[in-house]
Amino acid sequence: MKMSSYGRAVFLASVVLVVMAIAMLVFENKLSGVTPGLYLTDGGLSDAQKQSLSAMLDLVKLLMNWAVAVIGAAGFFLKLGVEKDIPIRGRDLILTFCIILLSVISLFLGHLVIDKSSAILALDQFPVSNDRVRFLGRYQYVFGLSSIILFGFHVFQFFWRGKRKTEFHVF
């Protein structure tokens, strides 16, 4: 039985999502563990450490909010295209899917930064100086920024093509 382009796209997207979910579980359980770091003096944070930790967590939350906003903007962009009867090409759907995947990965990494920071604090260690937390935060930023850049490219290419009417093809 031959699968339609829509069926192939849905199947491929489903496979990507399942693989991503499995990779996230493996990464969270096996690869993002807490490593020893700088112990807190007298079991408490200094004022400078409190400010540093607060700034880091604020940045993580900001990036998580941006990721959610990008997902919403991508969905709204597609919805607007449908409502205005603008043809949506397969490229548009693939770009939107990639934007959402990058945003979800950014959200996942932000969650891990907060979770691992909490675990490190429970061990009387300073999470901002922990290599694993910094690694997770750095990649949260890279994936979040990538989703924003890809969304900007998507919007640009979508409007650059002008008012030409094209047929909807996924592949």
In which element (H, E) is residue 59 found?
helix 47-83
Residue 100's pLDDT is: 95
Residue 25's pLDDT is: 82
pLDDT tens digits, one per residue of 71-130 = 999 998 888 888 888 778 888 889 999 999 999 999 999 999 999 898 888 888 888 888
Whether residue 140 is predicted with pLDDT greater than 90 in this model: the reply is yes
Residue 41's pLDDT is: 74
Residue 101's pLDDT is: 95
Angle at 148 between CA 54 and CA 139, to 5 degrees: 50
Residue 170's pLDDT is: 47
pLDDT category at 168 given cuts 50, 70, 90 is very low
Task: Specify whether the CB–CB gap between 41 and 124 falls below 8 A.
Answer: no
Q: Dig out the tokens for 50 from the structure.
A: 């409190």
pLDDT top residue among 156 and 163: 156
Residue 32's pLDDT is: 62
Query: What single DSSP character describes residue 30?
Result: I
- Give bridge partners of residue 125 from the DSSP assignment: 39
Which of 166, 64, 42, 45 has the alpha carbon at shortest distance from 115?
A: 64
Which of 33, 30, 6, 46 has the alpha carbon at shortest distance from 131?
A: 33
Whether residue 135 is predicted with pLDDT greater than 80 in this model: the reply is yes
Q: What would the mean pLDDT of 137-164 be, rounded to a whole number? A: 84
- Give bridge partners of residue 39 from the DSSP assignment: 125
pLDDT tens digits, one per residue of 1-51 = 677 777 888 888 889 988 988 888 888 777 666 666 667 777 788 889 899
